[in-house]
Amino acid sequence: MLEAFLIQTLWIWVLLAVFGLPFLAVRFSQWQATQRFVQARQVELSNPIDASARYQLASLFLKQRRFAKALPLLEEAYKIQQQRPSPNPRLLDDLARVYLRQQRIDDALPLLKTSLQLDPQGNQGETFLLLGKAFAQKADLERARECFLHTQQANTSLAEPVFRLACLDAAQNKHPEAQQRLRLFLKEAAHLPPFLRRRNRFWVIAMRLFPFSSFLA
C-alpha cells in the first residue's frame, strides 16, 4: 500500500526535488548571509559611538519589517548623530517612518522637517511622502496633498502618492478626478521597468480595487 502511494505521488516528489530543494538552498544561503551580517554588526555595537553599525542593522530589520527591533537601534543611532554637525537624513526618514507606524506623529514631524533641511530634494520625494502621511494622520489634508504632489513631481514612477492623492480627491467628492488620476498612472505603469513594477505592485492592486481600497490611505 505504501508502495502504491509513493508511485501515485511520484510527480509531487519530482516537483519538490526540482523546484523545492533549490529554493530552500537559496533561502538557507540568504539566512546564513543575514546571520553573518547581524553578528558582524553586533560586534561593532560594543562601540558606543558607532552610529553606522546601529543604522545598518536597523535597516536590515526594516527590510524584514521587524519594526520593534529596528526602533531602539534607530533611536540610538540618532542620539549619536545628534552630536555631529549633519545627521544622516535617511536615518531621520527611517526613524520617522517607524514613529508614523506607531501613530507618534509629533515625534515624526520634526525629524522629517530636519531631513528636508539637510536634503531639500527629499530623497527623490520619499521624505515628502512620509511628511504627507504625517499630515494626513493629523487630518491636515491640504498640506498632505501638497506633500504628495511634491513626491509625484520628484518621482513620477511611484504609485503610492498617486493612490493617496486619488483618495484625497474622493474624500472631497471629486470622484471623476480621482478615477482619471488613477487611469493615467495605470496606463503609464505598464511601461515601467520590472523592478519598479515589483515595487509598485501593492499600490497598483489597490488602484484597481479603488474605491473599495481607499481605507489603505
Say whether both 134 and 77 belong to one domain: yes
pLDDT over 80 (residue 35)? no
Q: What is the model's pLDDT at position 214? A: 77
Are the CB atoms for 21 and 14 separated by under 8 Å? no
pLDDT in tens, 162-206: 999 999 999 999 999 999 999 999 999 989 999 999 999 999 999
Q: Which of 22-26, 99-103, 124-128, 212-216 has the least mean pLDDT?
A: 22-26
Cell digits of residue 48 = 558606543
68 vs 6, higher pLDDT = 68
Query: Which CATH number is 80's domain given?
Result: 1.25.40.10
12 within a domain of the structure (yes/no): no
Choosing from 141, 171, 194, the residue where a domain stops is: 141
Q: Hey, what's the cell of 201?
A: 505592485
Q: Which domain holds residue 104?
A: 53-141
Report CA 200 to chain centroid distance, whole Å: 11
Question: Is the pTM here over 0.85, yes or no?
Answer: no
Asked, for residue 38, whether it belongs to a domain, the answer is no
Domain identity same for 128 and 76: yes
Q: What pLDDT, in 10s, does the model give residues 94-113?
A: 999 999 999 999 999 999 99
